A and B are shown apart, each in its own frame.
Chain A
């Protein structure tokens, strides 16, 4: 596994997200109200909307384009919608965000 540092966890707004671009891959990194962090491919399974721009509630995010609600833990669409987006391992070490660089990004970046 290749962990990369994304800066202090305080760089993420609570109940919010920011986007990071690595090797042409856009990844949304979320921080919930309870302090958990999640990383998802920044692309809604519906029409590719940027999930990092959505409203974060509980452990879910609502896509800003057409209100699909995506589960941050699984990347799956909830409710009546069907589809999923990739999830990536992310953790907080000493107050900093560490993301497990996905293989596809690693390949492109190198």
Chain B
């Protein structure tokens, strides 16, 4: 084995450690990892410091990774030791303690520093900032022995600090420079409502007001304002903002502006050095919220694992305030301005305020106060760029009011689509949560957090997750999820039916129905095609295909159109064609007066509008030119889309076209639970769009990345990375083994994307990647099955097979039958 490379992380915070966790998921064995953190703990959830300050959580509650975790994962942790210098020539980091650690790759995650106002008295004992556990400890200690606290800064952090101290029994005054609280997240109206409800809780405000000096001799005793007035203070918390901490990067000659400059793969000007988190400036933006940091961490991990497909393109962010009992949501550009409109709902008595900023029929920003249940929905509309014209008149009343189903008043969360993001920090959607709850029989919030990560970072979506739990489980927590039969004709599930076919050696549809006591004499349009496939898959070469149990497209080997005509798509291996082939297609199109000739998404040519009676003749002509069926109509291997690859493309790393043709030659004719689309891209630019295919190959200089479970359909899903292989032979073997596993395990009409989501990528990896013998066996079973399917159905039918399928009956008047 080659020497493990050395990875050093500077900064043991949320962003850096998330990058390490993501990396361990992708490539656990690739690096020797060393982590430096200036704080003397393991890694903790900084966002939850406010609940700790407010005595709603303890420090133990917010620890993310214990020291044991680092040991178990083979990570060397230097907590409490700070990196002071990077020697980029020798590739060493040098710590305060004198320790030197070499690196091959380095991640800077130095976070940010609280801004300290240059006031006289700023260094007095009793003046603290609000950034880490030590600050919180100092504040808690102060709250025990003294009375008056002044918080400078009426932003998110300042208000959370003020609320926490007030809950700890202090008399708290918040000083804010401008007239609106949280002015970066709220407009004046919402800011006023927020101020009012915080005042009701006992907080005092001095605003707008500029702090002139912090008073005191040996320790703080008050704060003086520019207008000369003073307030007493035993504790002063400066929470006026944060500034990216780029001192180390700057001193090491790495380009910085407001933060450490990074590109879309999160690399600094020194490509061996990455930066992630609050210290970063990306495309002109610095982020101080957790969701973007996690997105960045994913990209860093992806790049370190050498997948080379992740790009960070910036984030849209939303904010919630973590003050118990105050509901506040803000996202996007809520200030409006030229070319925008504002939709406003205000009910001061109820303390509800909603504002949407709309531009060109799309939501650009939102501020919600008092009633934030629709925050996730607005954020989704905003990110998707959904046009709201259809429901604009009701949009402010929330999602519950835009349908005509009369369900107003029902829990809002039930109305969200499965794809709606519930946890913005960790990118967890409603569907993921509901699925985890039902599949894994989860009953508590903690279980949901453990399985999905939803609500485990900032916790502000906890209410939504609890609603989901309640709705999904209903009243009966003990009931195990009922098994879902294949169709109403049977009580058995897909899995039970398949198992019986193999175990009992059932070799025909009637045999299956008899053994499993089907409730209907000959099934229905749902179960029969499924049974036909299961039998075909279990007994290749032996089972006689039941034509009458196939959907018309697979019976007529064309795709039925809305007017009852068919479309004909000849196979073009890897999407490559020739003048001769194109001429033959043109001849067919003219001879049979084909109304529409179109290029398909899978790089083929579609002849649309062919009459059923003409199909055999069309096929005969196409066969004569060397074409075979493209199976564009079947639950079958459809196409292998390719880019031109290194033969022509100046970026190409491998012969993607040649490989695609090879793959298509091996796999064509195979029947599957659903349609299957493959693609091969010659480089990570991925022109063949391999990462939305059932299996996509992305060629890189050192070999071939295999990606699985993508889908460009109703619900777009990008692929999961399966593994990387070195040769074309391996690509073929892994591809066939993966397809065979899908054929043997997926439910009929289940695409690879939902199948993988159901069984888990790990399962697929274990069967196809980790288990070499098993893979070989799958591969062989696939090839065995292919022996019986690679005869061209078009040529057979052009030669007269099943002629009655394509010819209508003829009627003859029979005098003798007239009664």
Contacts and interface: CB of A to CB of B under 8 A. Distances in A.
Interface in A56-110: 56-58, 60, 62, 64-65, 67, 69, 93, 97-99, 101
A57 B520 contact: yes
Contacts of B812: 4-6
B567 to A, nearest CB: 14
B560 A65 contact: yes
Nearest to A20: B809
B814 A4 contact: yes
Given A2-B813, A21-B808, A64-B551, A58 B819 contact: no
Given A11-B804, A98-B817, A53 B560 contact: yes
B520 A3 contact: no
A69 B560 CA distance: 17
A10 to B, nearest CB: 10
Given A55-B525, A57-B525, A5 B817 contact: yes
Nearest to B612: A53
B486 to A, nearest CB: 14
In this complex, the member of B520, B551, B564 whose beta carbon has the largest number of chain A beta carbons within 10 angstroms is B564
A62 B809 contact: no
A3 B818 contact: yes
Interface in A31-73: 33-34, 47, 49-50, 53-58, 60, 62, 64-65, 67, 69
A7 B547 contact: no
A99 B811 contact: yes
A3 B819 contact: yes
Given A4-B812, A47-B562, A56 B819 contact: no
Given A22-B811, A33-B522, A53 B818 contact: no
Contact of B528 (A34, A49, A55, A99): A55
B547 A13 contact: yes
A5 B525 contact: no
A15 B564 contact: no
Given A7-B809, A34-B521, A18 B528 contact: no
Contacts of A19: 808-809
Nearest to A63: B525
Binding site secondary structure of chain A: strand
Contacts of B529: 55
Interface in B523-553: 523-525, 528-529, 547-553
In this complex, the member of A6, A57, A60 whose beta carbon has the largest number of chain B beta carbons within 10 angstroms is A57
A54 B562 CA distance: 14
B97 interface: no
A4 B551 contact: no
A101 B551 CA distance: 30
Contacts of A55: 524-525, 528-529, 548-552
B811 A6 contact: yes
B720 to A, nearest CB: 32
Contacts of B813: 2, 4-5, 101
Contacts of B811: 4-6, 20, 22, 99, 101
A65 B522 CA distance: 21
A15 B522 contact: yes
Nearest to A33: B522
Contacts of B676: none
A19 B810 CA distance: 9
A83 to B, nearest CB: 17
B778 interface: no
Contacts of A29: 809
B560 A7 contact: no
Contacts of A47: 562
Contacts of A20: 808-811
B809 A18 contact: yes
A67 B524 CA distance: 11
B437 to A, nearest CB: 29
Contacts of B525: 54-55, 57, 62, 67, 69
Contacts of A69: 524-525
Contacts of B564: 49-50, 53
B556 A53 contact: yes
Contacts of A3: 814, 817-819
A66 to B, nearest CB: 10
Given A13-B548, A18-B808, A5 B814 contact: yes
Interface string B473-500: 0000000000000000000000000000
A18 B804 CA distance: 8
A2 B812 CA distance: 11
B790 to A, nearest CB: 26
B535 to A, nearest CB: 16
A20 B808 CA distance: 5
Contacts of B804: 11, 13, 18
Contacts of A67: 525
7 contacts: A4-B813, A5-B811, A6-B810, A34-B521, A55-B551, A58-B524, A67-B525
Ranked nearest first, the 5 interchain pairs of A and B with the lowest CB-CB distance are: A62-B525, A3-B817, A20-B809, A55-B525, A5-B814
Given A13-B547, A58-B524, 7 more contacts: A3-B814, A33-B522, A50-B564, A57-B523, A57-B524, A57-B525, A93-B817
